Amino acid sequence: MSQQEISVEHTIAQLTALVLALAHTQASANPEHAMQRIGAAVYACRQQGVGDHYPLEVYKKVFPGKNLPTVVD
């Protein structure tokens, strides 16, 4: 069976849906830990200079109305 080609946009949409589902699962099991880890991913993307659009959207959907956690080194 051959795999059909999908666009980059569809790939991103599929991966975003998957990550969002996993984030919701983790948040229901351990919300504080999930908030810290997803927040850290947002900050890591910013520090790498790649932007934070997708991780920040996931954060906002999993923790609506919550500020990003403060990261302490």
Residue 21, in any domain of the structure: no
Residue 28 and residue 66 in contact, taking contact as beta carbons nearer than 8 Å? no
pLDDT of residue 73: 56
Residue 50, in any domain of the structure: yes
pLDDT above 90 covers a percentage of the chain that reads 84
Residue 42, in any domain of the structure: yes
Residue 4, in any domain of the structure: no
What is the arithmetic mean of pLDDT over 22-42?
95
User: Inter-axis angle of helices 8-29 and 31-48, to 10 degrees?
Assistant: 140
pLDDT above 90 (res 26): yes
Residues 6+ apart with CB under 8 A from 46: 52
Residue 15, in any domain of the structure: no
List the structure tokens of 8: 């980059």
- Give the chain's domain count: 1
